[in-house]
Chain A
Amino acid sequence: MSIFSPSEIKIRFTVAAIGMLGAFFAPWWVPLICMIVLALRYPAWEVFVIGLVVDLLWLPSLGFQIPIFLIAGLVLVWICAPLRSQFLRP
């Protein structure tokens, strides 16, 4: 099944929505899991957005702080790209 089939798009939207809402209300590992699932299965730009939202919301700005979730999003999407193209053919 293609990753662009309607059911796959629904799954992708649902996971991304859980991740986005989780960034606001759920424990921090909920958006992290959503980011990992999305990055493993789809070439998902939503991973960046979830990471950005988590860091903008919760990162304390006093002193130097590493935006872990944003970096994790970038790393996950770009590192998983060869894996996806190898195993998940559209």
Chain B
Amino acid sequence: MMNSYRQNKSRNGRLLVITTLVVFLFALDILTGGSIRHLLRGGVVVMAEWSGRVGASIKGSGLLATRASLEAKNRVLSEQLTQYEERAGGFEALRTENEELRALVHLIESLPSGTEGMTAPVVSSIRSSPYGTFLIGAGDSDGIARGSLVLTSGGFVVGTVTDTGAHTAVVTEVFAPSATIEAIVGSASISAAGSGGGNARASVPRALSITVGQPVVAPAFGQRPIGIVGNVASSSASASQDVSIVLPVNLASLKYVYILPVRN
């Protein structure tokens, strides 16, 4: 009994020390302007690159995808097939990347002259963050500043830069969970409440005519579009109608974004 009491006491003492250490580290990070978090985020970029290379080499080898079919063929043909598949996979990846970058070039051309922004890769999963944030692979050293707008290739504002490191930056989604933004649909002014994943909800008077597919713009972002109306639900018993707003692009599939500096 006494022994168990002593063990519990020593364990609680150890936990208390680590609790203090963790709180100290968090406070230190805040006081030093995010030095610890920038180191961690740099690690994410490196790990994302490594995992991408490993994934590409596994995919290129055809080990997981086509093993059963390759066993049925002779050695020479199977080697050729693997080579062709690897090339095709590589071409497909390049084609997709090229299409995205081409779309961003169209976006840049459509912006007013004198607008100076830059393209940056998305280096983290959109789903990883509980705060509706994601990381991009460009930071202070590339001229990214807090408050910069983050655009998709279609010109939709997907978020704003809320923290910058040397080579990474944190983007907070416009429709992050618990975020609200004043927006305009047609001629109606609404307050959209974000629910994460590029979705938001708003309640508007039933008298207003709102149709699916109508663009939603935000005055705070220079009347740039932030989404489209995805669904309108109303009932005769209610004076208002529920409007679902969606980003017309899958956030999880975003590979590149366009960063528009604050002054633009």
Residues of A at under 8 Å CB distance from B?
23-28, 32, 43, 45, 48-49, 51-63, 65, 67-70, 73-74, 77-78, 81, 85, 89-90
Contact = CB atoms under 8 A, between A and B. Distances in A.
Interface in B47-61: 47, 51
Interface string B146-175: 110000000000000011000000101000
B44 interface: yes
Contact of A25 (B7, B11, B125, B147): B125
Given A57-B44, A59-B37, A74-B19, 16 more contacts: A24-B44, A25-B47, A25-B51, A25-B125, A28-B128, A28-B130, A48-B22, A52-B22, A54-B130, A56-B36, A57-B37, A57-B40, A58-B133, A60-B162, A62-B147, A67-B26
Interface of B: 4, 7-8, 11-12, 14-15, 18-19, 22-23, 25-26, 29, 34, 36-37, 40-41, 43-44, 47, 51, 124-125, 127-131, 133, 135, 146-147, 162-163, 170, 172
Contacts of B146: 62
Contacts of A74: 19, 22-23
A72 to B, nearest CB: 10
Contact of B131 (A27, A49, A60): A60
Given A28-B130, A45-B18, A65-B131, A60 B172 contact: yes
B159 to A, nearest CB: 10
- Say what secondary structure dominates the interface of chain B: helix
Contacts of A62: 146-147, 162-163, 172
A41 to B, nearest CB: 14
Contacts of A68: 130-131
A84 B25 CA distance: 27
Contacts of A61: 34, 37, 162-163, 170
Contacts of A89: 4
Nearest to A56: B37
Contact of B128 (A56, A58, A60, A78): A58
B18 A48 contact: yes
Contact of A27 (B7, B15, B128, B170): B128
